[in-house]
A and B are shown apart, each in its own frame.
Chain A
Amino acid sequence: MRGAKPTGCGSPVCLTAHTLFSLLGRRECGRHRAAQKFERCRSYRKSKMKPMITDRKRHLVTAALVAPAGLWLLVFLVLPFMAMVVFSFGERAPEGGYQAAFTFAQFANLPSRAAAFWNTMMIAPVGAFLCLIVAYPVAYYLAIKSDPKYRLVLVSLVVVPFWTSLLVRTYAWMYILGSRGIPNLLGMIGIEDIRLLNTPGAVLLGIVYGYLPLMIMPIYVSLEKLDRRLLEASADLGAKPVSTFFGITLPLSLPGVMTGVALVTILLLGEYLIPQLLGGGKVFFIGNALVDLFLQSRNWPFGSAIAVTLVVVVVIVLSVAMRIAWKVSGSRQVDLV
């Protein structure tokens, strides 16, 4: 049939459908009645899906893909969190644990753990910042200066520490910083009475050491994506290397920096191991307070109140960080590594 141009999106699928329907004596294949459906037809063509797949079937596929993770999160995250919220308004049973009640007493009692909050809120951002200072040059070297031939090997080396448990590595730091470690060596050359272990400095050192790879990676990724011609263009326009770095390289790697800082800060807010081992009870985090409350004094409601507060704080920190990152990078992409 010449001249009778088929309507629709023109994809082979639609054309076939049209031929079929016109053979059956119908003018439209039904799918083309509304402009919306027309659009959907185009998306079928793009995804190269089978033509007759229905919306219901697609929803089933979506459900099948999401269900395992969704169920897992529901049972092991959402429900426990709800339980925790409920607990936080309850009372400690006389023999420890939880006793149903509705009181704000636990939240009112938060100031008694002010030291833990203070330590966490101070040391976590400072630790993340120190991590950033150490990580940026490494990421910069890996992404821009290193020989592409060896880049993969060098980047792999960054994650080598993960091959051993953080616990073992932090124990090693305990020994190095402890009285038989560096202070002992310093003692040999006459510098006595240096205490390194169980100080905020030791905790910060452990943090930078433990979280460095998590900071390097996102920064590396954003620097690696950076178009080298932009750096050439900057030099071409008369910018000295330092100006190019602060004018072009740094701003364009900010999404990676923000990702790294947010990632490390959030993980640090819940940190337990490093302050436990290197802070020795003198420098303790919210995480340590939680362990103490749940396992030692068995004050579940108060522990829950602290945990809920921590979650709220993390959510606030995250949303503020994302907002800044979006504003700076001018896009809404979320590339958490």
Chain B
Amino acid sequence: MTAAPANDIEFRSVTKRYGTVTAVSDINLAVPKGAFVALLGPSGCGKTTCLRMIGGFEQPSEGTVLIDGREMNGVPAYRRPVNMVFQHYALFPHFDVEQNVAYGLKQARPKLAAAEISARAREALEMVRLGGFERRRIHEMSGGQQQRVALARAIVNKPSVLLLDEPLAALDKKLRTAMQIELQTLQRELGITFMLVTHDQEEALSMSDMVCVMNAGRIVQMDRPQDIYDRPADLFVADFVGKTNRISATVEPDGATLRLSNGMALAARSGLRPGAATVALRPEAIDLVRQSNGEGSPLAGIVTHRIFLGSTAEYQISVDGLGDFLVTADRRSMQEGDLVEPGERVALTFDPGKVHVFPA
């Protein structure tokens, strides 16, 4: 008896080339069973290609894709134990809702009884809260409803992995938030691996328990969402996930002191490689202090813009010698009910432990 493989999906040095263009280069990836993984990256980073290689719509130029521990090279899409929610749903326009959902069941060999097909299709529709819509035509459904039909259609075959290609991109913001919660609930109920492709970092961070950031055909970082945010592997991740202030700096020869380009010195964690570096600092890691008397602070500037967001406010601050900074201020951290007005002079303070230093 062989032990069940621990990984649902595995990429072993997978490369995909289209002519001379390399879409995905030398990717290694292991997705444990039951995980909710997000492939996050800008458009053209190869994330969709990865998903399509799992689905069987593309074959890797080099390397191997494994599903459930089985090599999938050369296995056509219709023989793979995965199902996909397509970007624009790709629902069959000539079928009604139930026929769409039942389509996958009808392909099963040996054939299933018509009663069982119908029962399971309805069960899947119930799961996505579309009971009662069985006889509707696709074009009579709203975008959010079509999304649910696509979900029901993809889970009805009980795949071991569900692939989601930008599933929420076409929905409005409110619906998107609701669907994020629903997708998470669905994943817990089904207990199967979800693999989501998205360019929306918020979506990736909020839904998945593992985020895989891709750039230019490579995996840059694979971690839990909070680690991606708190400990970005490089400047690209820091920039792409969340907002970041970038400051050019130099690491002093002692490897523990940072000198920002305006001359300010910072004590950083030791062991840095001396030389040019870029410092990344999250907007919410900075505190603002009003500087009415103009006394010297190493980091000060004038508020140029304020974006009021309700519980927080975002400030754009022109910092002396360093250019524009973005600062997010929690309103409770401010003094009694006040917001800093544009034109006011403020000092910026932050915990040096919260900066990320990347070699330039």
Contact surface of A with B, Cβ cutoff 8 Å: 227, 229-230, 232-241, 243, 247-248, 251-252, 328-330
- The residue that A251 contacts in the complex, of B94, B103, B157, with Cβ under 8 A, is B94
Q: How distant is the Cα of A49 from the Cα of B76 in the complex, in angstroms?
A: 54
Chain B, residue nearest A238 (CB): B107
What are 6 of the A-B contact pairs (CB < 8 Å)?
A: A230-B90, A235-B57, A237-B104, A238-B79, A243-B107, A251-B94
B interface bracket (residues with beta carbon within 8 Å of A): 20 to 34
A233 touches B107 (CB 8 A): no
| Interface residue? B83 (CB, 8 A) | yes
- The residue that A248 contacts in the complex, of B55, B57, B92, with Cβ under 8 A, is B92
How far does the Cβ of B243 sit from chain A's closest Cβ, in whole Å? 34
Residues of A within 8 A of B76 (CB): 235
| Interface residue? B56 (CB, 8 A) | yes
Residues of A within 8 A of B86 (CB): 229, 232-233
Chain B, residue nearest A232 (CB): B57
| Interface residue? B77 (CB, 8 A) | yes
- The residue that B93 contacts in the complex, of A234, A237, A238, A252, with Cβ under 8 A, is A252
A237 touches B90 (CB 8 A): no
Beyond the given A227-B90, A235-B56, A330-B94, please list 7 additional residue pairs across the A-B interface where CB-CB is below 8 A.
Answer: A232-B57, A236-B57, A236-B83, A238-B104, A238-B107, A240-B78, A329-B94
How far does the Cβ of B305 sit from chain A's closest Cβ, in whole Å? 26
- The residue that B88 contacts in the complex, of A229, A236, A239, A248, with Cβ under 8 A, is A229
How far does the Cβ of B71 sit from chain A's closest Cβ, in whole Å? 19
Query: Are A238 and B108 also in contact (CB < 8 A) when A232-B77, A247-B103 are?
Result: yes
Q: How distant is the Cα of A65 from the Cα of B140 in the complex, in angstroms?
A: 36
| Interface residue? B282 (CB, 8 A) | no
Q: How distant is the Cα of A235 from the Cα of B52 in the complex, in angstroms?
A: 12
Indicate the member of A234, A238, A240 with the most B CB atoms within 10 Å: A238
Contact surface of B with A, Cβ cutoff 8 Å: 55-57, 76-79, 82-84, 86-88, 90-94, 103-104, 107-108, 137, 153-154, 157
Residues of A within 8 A of B84 (CB): 232-233, 236
Residues of B within 8 A of A329 (CB): 94
How far does the Cβ of B135 sit from chain A's closest Cβ, in whole Å? 13
Query: Are A237 and B137 also in contact (CB < 8 A) when A243-B107, A330-B93 are?
Result: no
Q: How distant is the Cα of A251 from the Cα of B153 in the complex, in angstroms?
A: 19
Q: How distant is the Cα of A330 from the Cα of B94 in the complex, in angstroms?
A: 7
How far does the Cβ of A147 sit from chain B's closest Cβ, in whole Å? 13
Chain A, residue nearest B165 (CB): A229
How far does the Cβ of A17 sit from chain B's closest Cβ, in whole Å? 34
Q: How distant is the Cα of A234 from the Cα of B83 in the complex, in angstroms?
A: 10
- The residue that A230 contacts in the complex, of B78, B87, B92, B157, with Cβ under 8 A, is B92
Q: How distant is the Cα of A330 from the Cα of B57 in the complex, in angstroms?
A: 29
A239 touches B107 (CB 8 A): yes
